Amino acid sequence: KVFDAGRYNIISSTSDLPPTLQGVWAGTYDPPWASDFTHNGNVPSSLASMLMGNTPELLLAYTSYMEGLVPYLEVNAKMIFGARGIVLPSRSTTNGYNNAFEADFPGQFWVAGAAWAAHFFYDYWLYTGDRKFLAEHALPFMEKAALFFEDYLYEGPDGKYVFSPTQSPENAPRNTGSQTTFNATMDVAAAKELLGNTIAACRELNVRKDRIPVWERMLAKMPEYLINEDGAVKEWLTPKLTDDYDHRHNSQLYALFDGLPEEIAKSAELQAAFKRVIELKLDRHWSNWEKQGGFMSFGLVQLGQAAASLGQADLAYRCLVPLLNRYWLHNLASMHNAKELFNTDISGGLPAVLIKMLVASDPGVLRLFPALPSAWPSGTIEGVLCRGQSEIERLTWDGPTVRLSVRSAKAQDVLLYAPAEIKAISVKKGQAAIRNLNDPRGRRLTLPAGQEILVELQLSGR
């Protein structure tokens, strides 16, 4: 019911503009936070299931709004940082001026915003295959976001870039108490993702060949992730600033909000360190929720997204259960805090966590049940849109038996992976070829265009 309610709330709140904090139900001329667009967590949570939830048309309200803000974002970059390109503020309304100048909230120094927005532009292309959108909307926005980092970044004594000044939303190191910091992990992760995606977009479109080496050199100078004495990835990539886990934002997990970057996928040490962040956050901030106030529900969305990306089923489920039980009223309105303060952001975020636990996708790759908890021995999900222009029309599982109905918009080969060895696999409907891989958990499917393909799998150890 909550899954459906969340989708209903987001669909209802999206038209020419993306969902505001209170959607279309503020009910007052003085709603919390002016019912604005808060970009350092709330808006991305509300958008999180639009693509995978098979409503890509809704995301165009967000990209259109972002494009309309570009003149303001260029002013922000120039007037605050003396830079070209664009800077998206933590909050915007009918304008995008970065005017969050307060001693205890230096939001003007948060620089990951435009890169985070660019993620959704590029992801729209990955899901839909709309090359016109990639060329005319995504790449121009991505290039403007990348241009800012060309001017903003400078090299430290070790030859690596320094991100300064910055803010890791809305947290402060324990040893300074100041939100004005440097080398925030979120900024580094967002900049790396932005540059990598911009390079990939240019290669896809066969443009900007002269710019690609510039961005590749920038990627080579990015600071490396650091692991602290608790075995967790640091929120600021410097030994000079100490971590504070008792905070509602989880910005150091940005790289895992919507996938598993190759850099992390190849490193068991980094995966363990990111997992440790999730464990510490749950223990230090969310375990005592009845005794403390100000608990922000989309913080659990962020933890759940990251846990699912890591394939940590138990942790993802540990995030999902309180997200379901504590942050919804009986009328199926979603809350910012436990049972209070109406907000729409987890209406988009909760369905994303659930979908990510059942399906992960990249162009040419489908992963079934990346974080399936033992509490779900059987079930069904329908209509999941996947990167690479395919749709899982229906996925049903009951113990070791899995039935997958998939339709691809184009003829393509797709690598299909299951969480356990595939003992048997057969095509029950449609014309598709199956080939073995070196991995016993995977198969190569050759899919025709526009045809429903029904595949049945028998998995071992389930």
Instruction: Provide the H-helix boundaries in 342-437.
Output: 345-358
What is the structure's pLDDT at 289?
59
Give the residue from 36, 31, 33 showing the smallest Cα distance to 17: 36
**Which phi and psi (to 5°) does residue 432 adopt?**
-145, 145
Instruction: Provide the H-helix boundaries in 95-253.
Output: 113-128, 131-133, 139-152, 185-205, 212-220
Burial class (CB in 10 A: 0-12, 13-18, 19+), 424: exposed
- Burial pattern 243-278, b for ≥16 Cβ within 10 A else e, equals bbbebbbbbbbbbbbbbbeeebeeeeebbebbbbbb
What is the structure's pLDDT at 27?
78
pTM: 0.97
What is the structure's pLDDT at 361?
98
Burial class (CB in 10 A: 0-12, 13-18, 19+), 289: middle
Give the residue from 251, 258, 289, 253 showing the smallest Cα distance to 271: 253
242-246: list long-range contacts, CB under 8 Å, 24+ apart. Answer: 242/173, 242/174, 242/175, 243/173, 243/174, 244/171, 244/172, 244/173, 244/174, 245/277, 245/280, 245/281, 245/283, 245/284, 245/285, 246/284, 246/285
Give me the average pLDDT of each 10-residue run along the chain (462 residues): 97 96 88 93 98 98 98 98 98 93 88 98 98 98 98 97 96 96 98 98 98 98 98 98 93 98 97 97 77 75 98 97 92 91 96 98 98 97 98 97 98 98 97 96 98 97 68
What is the structure's pLDDT at 387?
98
155 DSSP 8-state letter: E
CA gap 389, 125 in Å, rounded? 9
CA gap 6, 354 in Å, rounded? 12
The torsion angle over the Cα atoms of residues 253, 259, 262 and 266, rounded to 10 degrees, is 70
Could you give the angle at which helices 56-81 and 139-152 cross, rounded to 10 degrees?
Answer: 30
**Which phi and psi (to 5°) does residue 418 adopt?**
-115, 165
For the chain, helix (H) and strand (E) counts, in that order, are 13, 18
Tokens of 342: 């109406």
User: In Å, how far from its chain's centre is CA 232?
Assistant: 20
What is the structure's pLDDT at 445?
98
- Count the residues in the chain: 462
Q: What region, left, alpha or beta, does residue 359 occupy, with left being phi > 0 and alpha being psi -120 to 50 degrees?
A: beta
DSSP notation for 273-334? HHHHHHHHHIIIIITTTTT-S---HHHHHHHHHHHHHTT-HHHHHHHHHHHHHHSB-TT--B
CA gap 11, 365 in Å, rounded? 28
Across the chain, what does the average pLDDT equal? Answer: 95
CA gap 181, 173 in Å, rounded? 8
Give the residue from 78, 73, 47 showing the smallest Cα distance to 60: 47
What is the structure's pLDDT at 339?
84
The pLDDT tens digits for 279-304 are: 999 988 877 655 555 578 999 999 99
What is the structure's pLDDT at 26?
80
What is the structure's pLDDT at 285?
81
Cross-strand bridge partners of residue 162 = 154
Give the residue from 53, 10, 120, 8 showing the smallest Cα distance to 359: 53
Tokens of 35: 């019912």
CA gap 120, 138 in Å, rounded? 9
